[in-house]
Structure 1
Amino acid sequence: MKKLTVFLASTAAALALAGTAANAERATDGDLKILFWQAVSTLNPYLSGGTKEIYSSSLTIEPLARYDQTGTLTPWLVTEIPTVDNGGVAKDMTSITWKLKPGVKWSDGTPFTAEDVIFTWQYCTAPDGGCAQKAQYEGVKSVEALDPTTVKVTFTEPKYYPYSAFVGAQSPIIQKAQFKDCVGAKAPGCTSANFGPIGTGPFVVKEFKPNDVVTYVANPNYRDAAKPAFASVTLKGGGDAPSAARAVLETGEFDYAWNMQVEPEVLATMIAKGKGKIETAFGTQVERINLNWFNPDPALGDKRSTKEAGPHPALKDPAVRKALSMAIDREVIDEVGYGEAGKPTCNIVPAPDIYISTTNDWCLKQDIDGANKLLDEAGWKKGSDGIRAKDGVKLSFLYQTSTNSVRQGTQALVKDWWQQIGVASELRNVAASVFFGGDPASPDTFQKFYADVEMYTNNFDGTDPEKYLAEWLCDKIPSPANGWQGQNIPRYCNPDYDKIVAELAKTGDLAKRAELAKKANDMLTAEGAHIPLIHRGQPSAISNTLAGVNMNAWDSELWNAADWSRKK
């Protein structure tokens, strides 16, 4: 496939230079070089659930509020965080009112208004729109402008944690003027907008080569006249995690490399070169194996991995789902692949402390004998080849993940452990730029899930898990109807689970919210929507010449790029 090159701001560089002349501190530190070994495929995070798309777009488009490095909710495009005490949140918890900062402009110089906020909600919730972040707007009844700088969000019922829509890197505001003709089924076809969203952030997209490189220049209309310090950003994609780490820590070619999923001993050797460091922030990332609840048999054609395909012939058995988890030694995976940047876990919600469940801690101890016994009792008998079968169905699975040495190492370990319980697995890895790319035409995306099991990591913005837990609602399952962009990747559906999440949304007491969140978390693990493996830190490589980086596991790692500068 030919690379598409889109020139999105032909006068952006000139405008940036003009801004530099007027404001000596802006754009004086040259080019900031960032490396994502998982290349970026779109700059519209509403059309991809991939972290690389969320982070790369956060340099240009922003939410109303976001979380800082401590997990504290912070005003961004608004004057303050609405609360009941300041009158911003209704006493009955049915609405929240945001006051936009005065004078904020889009990078094209036009005013940022309440109409853009309203449009963003309409865009993501439009029928057939395939919005990958639809869970962020769960429970929103309406969004209205009280005046050009005041937005009122009304909920379908009392919402005791109202900071979901328009909060965090997964829910940024897009410009109505740019995207007004890109609503619903038209969304994926708006290449120019998707590859170069006009934003309020510190940088403007100059050129984008999908799955390769993004170049940005300083936004001449950024609200702080002294920022950003860098005149431009080059965000290069591709390669692998070790080579990305090496480019910062050994050769010094790049300033920042995201997602250093590299064996601990390899990183230690690189750090010894003295050119950079690894900084790790623990938030809510969990490396997990998703189990496909729908039948992915290729013989089913377009119906595979959809509701029409019917339940998975083997994974529909709870005994199989539990045995797969019991056979895994999470301590070994952590020791070999993560070291101090990981912790074994049985939870999909691993933090903050108030939400950590201990109900599923049985999974922390590998139990090969117990897994074999469970499968024996469930009627899965070993054949002459050592593989279990029942009613003509074999326990033989296609196990896919993205291309990465740590993940391939984990695959090899899991394959061996599953073989010890009579389960065969075919290992497959897909280039990360494709796997996480969200292209509805590709058969290889993690959303399409044309496999039996697949492994990756995911997390949620901020410290409250409500909108994250909403991702496993029945109506969030990816399908052709939503462009394969639903967030419920395992295709798990339980009306009782939906009721728990609905109750969480209307519960105000923090202790009760924690109880409900744990209950939802426990149901997902106990019923086998997925197999949690490792609570991952977020390690990134940072050059010793770079200043101002505040590692953030609760939002985009690039959240404060406007404050980054070159050490003098």
Structure 2
Amino acid sequence: MKKLKHLLVGTVAVLALGGTAAHAERGTDGDLKALFWQAVSTLNPYLSGGTKEVFASSIVIEPLARYDEKGELVPWLVTEIPTVENGGVAKDLLSMTWKIKPGVKWSDGTAFTAEDVIFTWKYCTAPDGGCAQAAQYEGVKNVEAIDPNTVKITFTEPKPYPYSAFVGAQSPVIQAKQFKDCVGAKAPGCTAANFGPIGTGAFMVADFKPNDVITFKANPNYRDPAKPAFASITLKGGGDAASAARAVLETGEYDYAWNAQVEPEVLQTMLAAGKGRLEISFGTQVERINLNHFNADPSLGAKRSTKEAGPHPSLSDPAVRRALSLAIDRDIIVEAGYGQSGRATCNIVPAPEVVASTKNDSWCLKQDIEGANKLLEDAGWKKGSDGIRAKDGVRLSYLYSTSTNSVRQATQELVKAMWAEIGVDAELRNASASVFFGGDPASPDTFQKFYADVEMYTNNFDGTDPEKYLAEWLCDKIPGPANGWQGQNIPRYCNPDYDKLVGELSRTADLDKRAALAKQLNDMLTEEGAHITLVHRGDQSSFAATLEGIKMNSWDSQVWNIADWSRKK
């Protein structure tokens, strides 16, 4: 609570964000070797909501402000955080003004100006653009330039928490000159720009082979002449989480491996080699099973998983959704797959503490097979000779999809066995993470397409205020052909009462009331079965013992301060 009050009305100081070691010359530490076992498919985060794309692109393109490792908002390309007290946020909360730092340049040497900020807003809100980060710009009425270094944002109604657009790794500024011909329906076709965005970050793209390797080199126009310490980054994609972690912790071939989603006992064996370390921090990551509220029957063809397909024949039943959740033992899933980097949860908004609800813990956190069976029996779902429940010719048999990862496949097997105890069958399927999270509108296997009955993955939100994240479940955020399958409402959940409550949250200034509304929205999603939350996951990645300057960050991008990373001398 103190942090949020500080952001709204306090004076936010410009923080000096530095590594532990000073370097007199840029590029003295050679090549940083990084592994993303979920290979990166694009470097435009506006065309893919996947964490791998957001993180990789954040090495190059940056927001006006971002969240540090403590979850506190800090200025990045601007001189200070606008507040009511310093005059940057209007007293009526209808506008805010950002002051761009003087002398910021794009990597091509041209000036970064207010026009680039304006263009980014227009790009993401353009009709038919399929912007994956549209929720970040919810409620923005206009963005205008007061002068080349001053940007004014006007809101459609008072915005008590205005730090959304151009804040955090999910909402960076892109160069107007580079993307000017890539607006709206043209956006996915701008391959050169999407694969090689010009940025203001410490590194620039030298070469990009989609779903394979990205080569970055130090940006000669970066605003700090002594940074970055590394001359280049080689980011290899693909493989699996265990081999990526091993390449850092056990063999020492790589310096950094993102997302060590590996069984705890396996990681302990790797750590014994002494080549690296694990860094863990908890933010808002939640492993969840989305329940498709639309019919996903393959026989529906192009209508599959769209509104035209109609409601899901069994998951539209609240009793079924509740029973599926009751049948799951979350503690076993945490113990088997996450260890100290996981906690059982019933919340899609698990943090910070001020907005974390406990309302549903009493029924949700404890497995209840008997209660789940009774729910289904009372709702008319009867077991057949094969042990699978059915009603009116509809069987409780689901295609259960996720990305390829040993922990996720183990979780699938556990959930399948738990559901079998209540007469529910599951066909397990997994797709390469580079495809599953890739956002390719032509692929049938993306998590946005959701060509399955249920699917499992992790997602999170930037910063400590969940307003823009909770807006992702609005009715108009459902993915479909009209928006290039880029909407954030993956479960296809739609409740007008929920939409109204999100609107109320966006208009509420009192921080205690905001927290209460956030909990209420979280609880609606849990109680109505938009998804089944499983694990509050800590961010856990592998780092070479020789790396320093790391500030593990669960509120923004893990590589948010990569300009400060260096190798021990």
How many residue pairs align between the two structures?
546
User: Residue 375 of structure 1: SS of its match in structure 2?
Assistant: helix
Match of 2:396 in 1: 395
Match of 1:364 in 2: 365
2: CA distance between counterparts of 1:460 and 1:266? 29
Deviations 1:484-538 (A, max 9, x none): 0000000000010011111111111110000000000000010000000000000
Match of 1:288 in 2: 288
Mark the runs of 5 or more structure 2 residues left unpaired by the alignment: 1-22
Match of 2:37 in 1: 37
Q: How many angstroms does 1:25 deviate by?
A: 1.2
Mapping of 1:128-143 within 5 angstroms? Answer: 128-143=128-143
Mapping of 1:502-541 within 5 angstroms? Answer: 502-541=503-542
1: CA distance between counterparts of 2:134 and 2:386? 45
1: CA distance between counterparts of 2:267 and 2:510? 44
1: CA distance between counterparts of 2:380 and 2:224? 67
Letter paired with 2:289: I
Match of 1:10 in 2: none
Letter paired with 1:468: Y
2: CA distance between counterparts of 1:343 and 1:52? 23
Superposition TM-score, scaled by structure 1 size: 0.96
Letter paired with 1:512: K
Deviations 1:210-235 (A, max 9, x none): 00010000000000011001000000
2: CA distance between counterparts of 1:132 and 1:35? 24
Mapping of 1:318-337 within 5 angstroms? Answer: 318-337=318-337
Match of 1:224 in 2: 224
Match of 2:408 in 1: 407
Match of 2:10 in 1: none
Deviations 1:382-410 (A, max 9, x none): 00000000111110000000000000000
User: Residue 300 of structure 2: SS of its match in structure 1?
Assistant: helix
Match of 1:180 in 2: 180
Deviations 1:309-333 (A, max 9, x none): 0000000000000000000000000
Mark the runs of 5 or more structure 1 residues left unpaired by the alignment: 1-22
Deviations 1:152-175 (A, max 9, x none): 000000010000000000000000
Match of 1:213 in 2: 213
Match of 1:376 in 2: 377
User: Residue 46 of structure 1: SS of its match in structure 2?
Assistant: coil
Match of 1:547 in 2: 548
User: Residue 98 of structure 1: SS of its match in structure 2?
Assistant: strand
2: CA distance between counterparts of 1:292 and 1:338? 26
Match of 2:20 in 1: none
Deviations 1:231-274 (A, max 9, x none): 00000000000000000001101000000000000000000100
Match of 1:493 in 2: 494
Letter paired with 1:288: R
Match of 1:20 in 2: none
Match of 2:420 in 1: 419
2: CA distance between counterparts of 1:33 and 1:434? 23
Q: How many angstroms does 1:550 deviate by?
A: 0.4
2: CA distance between counterparts of 1:553 and 1:161? 20
1: CA distance between counterparts of 2:356 and 2:115? 39
1: CA distance between counterparts of 2:489 and 2:108? 36
2: CA distance between counterparts of 1:168 and 1:182? 23
Match of 1:13 in 2: none
User: Residue 205 of structure 1: SS of its match in structure 2?
Assistant: strand
2: CA distance between counterparts of 1:80 and 1:312? 49
Q: How many angstroms does 1:441 deviate by?
A: 0.2
2: CA distance between counterparts of 1:87 and 1:456? 41
2: CA distance between counterparts of 1:259 and 1:522? 28
Mapping of 1:112-127 within 5 angstroms? Answer: 112-127=112-127
1: CA distance between counterparts of 2:459 and 2:528? 19
User: Residue 172 of structure 2: SS of its match in structure 1?
Assistant: coil
1: CA distance between counterparts of 2:231 and 2:132? 32
Letter paired with 1:242: A
Q: Does structure 1 residue 439 correspond to structure 2 residue 440?
A: yes
Letter paired with 2:404: T
2: CA distance between counterparts of 1:344 and 1:280? 17
Shift >2 Å, 4+ stretches = none
2: CA distance between counterparts of 1:514 and 1:174? 32
User: Residue 504 of structure 1: SS of its match in structure 2?
Assistant: helix
Deviations 1:43-89 (A, max 9, x none): 00000010000000000000000000000000000000000000000
Letter paired with 1:317: D
Q: How many angstroms does 1:24 deviate by?
A: 5.1
